[in-house]
Structure 1
Amino acid sequence: MRLDVFLWHARLAKTRVLAQAMAVDGHLRIDGRAVDRSHHPVRVGNVLTFMTAGRVRVLRIEALPTRRGPPAEARECYQELIAG
């Protein structure tokens, strides 16, 4: 699944355009490696590290969502490792 689509479906970004911007700005990491493109593939088990709203978030992808569902469904797609 594309990184920007995952961020949008998992409700980590409000719009797909914002999800693309998060990926392109270079401040998002997948398994410790910087990402600079929105179409970078993500898989179950990948660890995402990024800043949002002035705090660092570290998430492990637990499942790939098939749609942009309700927030409770979206939270089941990842596990929060660090939120600070």
Structure 2
Amino acid sequence: MVGEGRQRIDKWLFFSRAVKSRSLAAKIVVAGRVRINRDKAAQASDLVKPGDVLTITLEGRILVWKVMNCGTRRGPAEEARLLYEDMSPVPTPKGEAVPDAIPALREAGSGRPTKRERRQTDRLLGDD
């Protein structure tokens, strides 16, 4: 290990139970879905230390975790929760819309014609 109190990001993600395997952790890091202190992690060998803030994008969720400790093993969930402090924003409920979103409006009659309207057009054009 390069520095005392530092750990590879792929190992840390695996030990903290953010992902199921170390190879999956390496894939999400290389894909650019992990940031260390607002900088994209470029390689699975990038190092994290206590105090670093990780922003992780997983399955449509955004996790913001502050690294509290380096892990030594992938233990039970209670042990994994000691490795980070969760600072993630509260997710919006599924049925609730974003307040700034404007609903899409469409003028009546625009869009795809109904079957009835298509038949009327065919009769008008003489296509039987």
Establish whether TM, by shorter chain, passes 0.5. Answer: yes
Distance 1:22 1:53 in 2: 11
Matched pairs, number: 84
Q: What is the one-letter code of the residue matched to 1:32?
A: R
SS at match of 2:85: strand
Larger Rg: 2
Show structure 2 runs of 5+ residues with no match: 1-6, 92-128
TM-score by length of 2: 0.63
Query: Once superposed, what is the RMSD of the aligned Cα atoms?
Result: 0.9
Q: Which whole-Å deviations, capped at 9, do the CAs of 1:40-75 have from their partners, x for residues lacking one?
A: 000000000011121111000011111110011001
Residue 34 (str. 1) matches residue 40 (str. 2): yes
Q: With CA pairs under 8 Å and 6+ residues apart, which has the higher RCO, 1 or 2?
A: 1
TM-score by length of 1: 0.95
Distance 1:75 1:14 in 2: 15
1:64 pairs with 70, 76, 98, which one? 70
Distance 2:28 2:34 in 1: 7
SS at match of 1:63: coil
